[in-house]
Amino acid sequence: MKPIIRKENVKSLFDSKFIKVFDLQYEEGKHYFDATRRPFEKIVAIKSDAEFRQMLPDAVTCVVILKVKNESPKLLMTKEYRYPTGQFLMSPPAGLLDSEDETEENPILSAARREIKEETGLDIQEKDTLFVINPLLFSSPGMTDESNALACAVINLDNLSSLSQEGAVGTECFDGFVLLSTEEAKEMLKTGKDKDGIFYSVYTWASLMYFISDLWR
């Protein structure tokens, strides 16, 4: 039988604009701790089963595949500075869902479209494809209730002249793009590192796997 975490047994330990920590008392004298972006009323631990099954993710990660004219398809990655690691990590375009996205017909795709534009300069056109791969994946549920959806964009281009990182906002810091062939993606999966010997995130791993599996076709 699963422990029931009731609202009255949840206490705030730390509260800031970007991160919060809650004490989840799941039995008398027994505590678990949750680092989250969510305000108290939206933390996952206190949702009913029905609310849990209908909730939206915190963010969306985008598997972006470029089909450039007369070339084989490539997986588009960015080199993004990740402050907790102190490194530029090879990363797929990604970003948080905004409150405005929640009013859209498909909040995940609304956020994906915006984040792809901001981080790559690419607009999704009618000739392109944009779809949800997975509606919600927990990042590290032993530590946080944070979650990401996975979306896929297959974008048709004549050339790469429209690629740009000038739309970066807030703390975002980029150092260029990397376009990976299927063989290069496989090599990254085998070694667990990029060509510079740098480790990468689980969402990069998922993007590599989805690309080489051909499930996007």
Q: What does the pLDDT average to over 131-150?
A: 97
Q: Is 2 inside any structural domain?
A: no
Predicted pLDDT at 115: 97
- Are residues 190 and 136 located together in one domain of the fold? yes
- Are residues 156 and 191 located together in one domain of the fold? yes
CATH at residue 126: 3.90.79.10
Q: Is 1 inside any structural domain?
A: no
- Are residues 111 and 38 located together in one domain of the fold? no
- Are residues 166 and 73 located together in one domain of the fold? yes
Predicted pLDDT at 1: 83
Predicted pLDDT at 2: 85
Spatial CA neighbour of 191 closest among 181, 200, 203: 200
pTM: 0.94
- Give the structural domain span for 133: 59-213
Q: Which helix (H) or strand (E) holds 102?
A: none
Task: Read off the pLDDT of residues 170-199 as tens digits, 9 standing for 90 and up.
Answer: 899 999 999 999 999 999 999 999 999 999
Spatial CA neighbour of 145 closest among 61, 33, 54, 41: 33
Q: Is 80 inside any structural domain?
A: yes
| Opening angle at CA 139, ends 180 and 190, nearest 5 | 35
Task: Read off the pLDDT of residues 150-174 as tens digits, 9 standing for 90 and up.
Answer: 999 999 999 999 999 998 888 999 9
All residues at 6 or more sequence positions from 52 whose CB lies less than 8 Å from its CB, including other chains: 44
d(CA 18, CA 171): 12
Instruction: Domain count for the chain, please give it.
Output: 2
